[in-house]
Amino acid sequence: MMKTHRPHDRFPALYVRDFRIFWIGQLISFSGTWMQSTAQGWLVYSLTKSPFYLGLVATVASLPVLFFTLIGGVVADRLMKRKLLVITQTLSMIPALALAVLIDLKMVTVWQIIVFATLLGTVNAFDVPARQSFLIEMVQKGRLLNAIALNSAAFNGARIIGPFIAGITIASIGVAACFYVNTVSFLAAIIALLMIKTRSGEGKGLSARPSPESRTEGGLSVLLQDLKEGLSFVKGERNVFRILLLVAIFSLLGIPFVTLLPVFAEDILKVGPRGLGVLAGSSGVGALTAALLIAFKGEIERKGQLMVWAGVTFGAALLFFSLSRDYLASTIILVFAGWGVVSFLAVANSFIQLRTPDVLRGRVMSVYALVFLGIAPIGNAVMGSVAHMVGTGRAISIGASLCLLAVLLCSKYMRSMDKEASYPS
């Protein structure tokens, strides 16, 4: 008889009560966050008519993560993660509610938006490490990969739902409503966290890494030595280094296109806030498709070849988008852009982890996080400035061309990766 796959064979994490509740809460909260993100971009551009300020707001929202996320990881290991997440979700309501009130009172300025974006970014620096390390406490190791994939699917699904609702809300009710909705959406995440029964390991140091107290002797020198070991591995593993370099280029020159979408919606395609929601949601459709396919597939043998195709698809789609002046064509193109970038990043992450021995995985993946998330604010600032000087369409064309060129130059090496065995643990 042919073996049939039941639903829980593919998505086992959803059959864990605590994760299922957590996941639903996150889906609602992510949708509110994307609503605010879309509305905030529209608000900034309405106030300033400047792509530079779009890039600046995105930059200050991300910089605190770069500066404080290592401290956030220490706090997550010292405190009960579930309670820490309740605190961060509660604090995240403050910027959303404050901006909503300021908009209603017609007192909002771009500098107020910058201040509250910085505050939210600082909260996220503590929220992200706690959230990621809390997953294993809910689903345990056997379902962790599936939980991560489903969490990514929720995030990218919200990229479709949030901007679409935001576009309709801005056009019919007003931009302030999006900030009010986001304020309420955090309550879903908080309620879900309070309903979770998981208590094991909270504040007890589940991580196999030594606690901060056990490493006080020669703390700075030990830290520097650990960092040196991780960086030496990345430097020595040429294929890992090449992939990380490509991720850095994408974060610097390609992914910031999302920040500049309000310019395309308002000035280039002239489709207004509803069109902005559809454009942002279209890239989310591609991203969600990529996340679900990879989660459903489970394992991909020819990772190098898929990375080449995904990287080429992203660069080419972004280039075509920058040249398009047709709304429908632009919407379809962004689906391919979303599929390409998420497919590339997911497979790149998998390849790097397979090539990394267990004792170095945390440090190597911290380098991955640095080039992906850490460079993002720099990319937003760079692309915003370039768009201000030469025009938004031309700036995206330049960035897309450089991303495409980088992938093509590395394509030979990425295809050869499929012949390599995983690094022995």
- What's 145's domain CATH number? 1.20.1250.20
- What pTM does this model have? 0.70
Please check whether residues 162 and 234 belong to one and the same domain.
no
Q: Which of 382, 319, 317, 378 is nearest to 344 (CA)?
A: 317
Contact (CB, 8 A) for 26 and 154: yes
Tokens of 289: 């498709």
Do 270 and 194 reside in the same domain of the chain? no
Q: Is the same domain home to 231 and 378?
A: yes
Closest CA to 178 of 193, 168, 188: 168
Q: Are residues 95 and 175 in the same domain?
A: yes
Determine the pLDDT at residue 59.
79
Residue 21 lies in a domain: yes
C-beta atoms surrounding 35 within 10 Å = 29
Q: Which portions of the chain are predicted below pLDDT 50?
A: 1-4, 200-217, 421-425
Which residues, 6+ apart, have CB-to-CB distance to 69 below 8 Å?
Answer: 125, 128, 129, 369, 373
At 277 the pLDDT is 80
Q: How far apart are CA 118 and CA 246, in angstroms?
A: 28
**Cα dist from 10 to 86, 142, 154, 297, whole Å:** 30, 13, 16, 8
Do 308 and 414 contact (CB within 8 A), yes or no? Answer: yes
Judgement on whether residues 190 and 251 belong to the same structural domain of the protein: no
Query: Does residue 206 form part of some domain?
Result: no
Q: Which domain range does residue 306 map to?
A: 219-418
Contact 140, 15 (CB under 8 A): no
Nearest to 304 by CA among 167, 424, 410: 410
Residues 6+ apart with CB under 8 A from 103: 43, 174, 175, 176, 179
Kindly state the tokens that stand for 369: 């996080």
Instruction: Note the pLDDT of residue 199.
Output: 56
Q: State the Cα–Cα distance between residues 156 and 280, nearest whole angstrom.
A: 11
pLDDT of residue 233: 82
In angstroms, the CA 89 to CA 191 distance is 10
Domain shared by 118 and 187, yes or no: yes
Q: Is residue 205 part of a domain?
A: no
Residue 2 lies in a domain: no
Q: How many domains does the chain contain in total?
A: 2
81, 134 contact by CB (below 8 A) = yes
If asked whether residues 192 and 329 sit together in one domain, one would say no
Interatomic CA distance for residues 117 and 95, integer angstroms: 7
d(CA 76, CA 66): 16
250, 143: one domain: no
Whether 19 and 138 have beta carbons less than 8 Å apart is answered as: yes
